[in-house]
A and B are shown apart, each in its own frame.
Chain A
Amino acid sequence: MAVPHFMASGMGGIRTAGDLVARMEYSKNMKIGKAKEYVAKKLGISTLEIGDEYIMRGLREELKIGVVTGVPGAPRGIAAKMNIEKLLDIKINSCDIFREMTKR
């Protein structure tokens, strides 16, 4: 069920900028058009390009925001999300908790 939906209209998550667009929908109640425009502006590319795997694969590695393939040394998890916070100018709950845990 999930794969046909992904193929028909899904952004593709971290293959592209799907996770970033989802974060703007959920954190700011942005509808899809506005969320894509916001993410595209922050990435410095067009709203068409944010759904393009070829463009986003390299850009994600360069920005250190998590990539879909296994790359040793590339940030993932909390490290990638901390970079996403800076990129999108939002706070992410798990990063806040991680920062709190590392305070002395």
Chain B
Amino acid sequence: MAEFYTRMGDGSRVLMTREKILNDIQAGMADAVDMGGLPDLTPNDIEKLFEIISDKNRVVGVEPGNEVVLTYDIGQLDFTGDNGNSGNGVDVGRMESALLHERALGADTFELAHADYSIKPVKPVISNEMQTMEEIQNEIVAPYFYGAMPNAGLYYSPDGPYGNPADLMREFKIDEAMQAAEMTADHLARDIEYVATRLIAAGSDGFNFDTTASAGDADAVGTFKGVRALRKACPDTYINVGMAGESIMGIHGSIEFDGEIVAGTYPHQQVKFAQKAGANVFGPVVNTNTSKSLAWNLGRAVTFIKECVKVAEIPCHVNMGMGVGGIPMCETAPIDAVTRCNKAMVEIAKVDGV
């Protein structure tokens, strides 16, 4: 029986038969359907997914005419960062990095970023960031954002002014934990407005909120509130809201945005919060299970993202980095796996960008 080289979720190679690949696609899909209350993929989708995964070529791509927008996150840190960001450890300047991405790496958009890639640490160096934004805007042609993680974790003890909900809950101080999360959400929203409006005054095309909700539901609510304030202050600015995971963790549990609890929501529900807040583009995430095959992970991820794109009123640029969007969770994601996940997201889930 013919076998096909494919991957596991940790990136390692594995040989699988057609039957095994199809079984894993369906099992991954069933997991997403069960978790998110989503419709199944169609039989045609499943067959196409099998064809993409079992393609004999090392690199696959979309048909001409099916290209989508490639939005970069993390700015120059993909060159300058350490391996925590899969960075190359090459200390190039931010201007050079921006222009190389535009002119050599096919970037449809790019962004400026602080080394800590979080909203809070930008505040003390805001003038420096504004001046760099002004300089690069004079040279670059492609849409150029400022990017940062909302990263509400930096507002909790010992790094920030509020009690740490995880510590407080261990002491059964539930009300205090919830109050700390609520104060953090409001503080984060204020900081987003402070930082983003200044970068936009310096010429930024917009703001990319990366890994929203990485610290749970208060992180998400603080971000959505900050986005709403930013939209009010800068009606024409470009706003991208990208998520941290497929489901928002309920660290608070009942904190709401516009009267709705955000904890436990999935991409097709999260996009509605982003739309209401004022985002132009939404970046959904589906996490990779390292113990399952690429077929299982991609079947699952495409099922989640297809529904998100279907219900979205704004474009969706799916997150496809290490360990998300079906891509294996490893520092050097194999090219065969990356291009297969990419093609499946574009041609089956119908995303507007990556």
Interface residues, chain A, with chain B CB atoms under 8 Å away: 1-16, 18-19, 21-23, 25-27, 29-32, 35, 47-48, 51-52, 65-66, 68-69, 76-78, 80-81, 84, 91-94, 97-98
Kindly specify which of B67-75, B160-168, B169-177, B285-293 makes contact with the partner chain: B67-75
Cross-chain pair count, CB within 8 angstroms: 181
Chain B residues lying within 8 Å of A18, measured Cβ to Cβ, are 67, 69-70, 106, 108, 142
- B108 and A92 contact, CB distance less than 8 A: no
A10: contacting residue among B67, B200, B281, CB under 8 A: B67
B86 at the interface (CB under 8 A from A): yes
B264 at the interface (CB under 8 A from A): no
B141: contacting residue among A5, A9, A80, CB under 8 A: A80
Kindly specify which of B55-63, B147-155, B246-254 makes contact with the partner chain: B55-63
Chain B residues lying within 8 Å of A14, measured Cβ to Cβ, are 102-103, 141-142
- What are the 9 A-B residue pairs with the smallest beta carbon separation, nearest first? A66-B141, A6-B106, A26-B238, A94-B203, A10-B70, A18-B108, A8-B342, A94-B137, A32-B352
Chain B residues lying within 8 Å of A94, measured Cβ to Cβ, are 137-138, 144, 203-205
- A26 and B322 contact, CB distance less than 8 A: no
- A76 and B139 contact, CB distance less than 8 A: yes
Per-residue 0/1 for B94-129: is the Cβ within 8 Å of any A Cβ (1 yes, 0 no)? 000000011101111100000000000000000000
- A3 and B105 contact, CB distance less than 8 A: yes
Interface residues, chain B, with chain A CB atoms under 8 Å away: 59-62, 64-72, 78, 86, 101-103, 105-109, 137-144, 200-206, 236-238, 240, 280-281, 313-315, 320-322, 333, 335, 338-339, 342-343, 346, 351-354
- B141 and A93 contact, CB distance less than 8 A: no
A83 CB to nearest chain B CB (Å): 10
Mostly, the A contact residues are helix
- Distance A19 CA – B251 CA, assembled complex (angstroms): 38
- Distance A81 CA – B351 CA, assembled complex (angstroms): 27
Chain A residues lying within 8 Å of B237, measured Cβ to Cβ, are 93
B280 CB to nearest chain A CB (Å): 5
Ordered by A's residue number, 22 sampled pairs between the chains whose C-beta atoms are within 8 Å are: A2-B106, A4-B59, A4-B342, A5-B339, A8-B62, A8-B338, A8-B339, A13-B107, A25-B69, A27-B238, A29-B280, A29-B313, A29-B315, A32-B351, A47-B65, A51-B67, A76-B141, A80-B141, A81-B141, A94-B137, A98-B138, A98-B203
Closest to B238 in A: A26
Chain B residues lying within 8 Å of A51, measured Cβ to Cβ, are 64-65, 67
- B342 and A5 contact, CB distance less than 8 A: yes
A2: contacting residue among B64, B105, B238, B353, CB under 8 A: B105
B321 CB to nearest chain A CB (Å): 6
- Distance A25 CA – B203 CA, assembled complex (angstroms): 19
B181 CB to nearest chain A CB (Å): 31
- A9 and B314 contact, CB distance less than 8 A: no
- A1 and B105 contact, CB distance less than 8 A: no
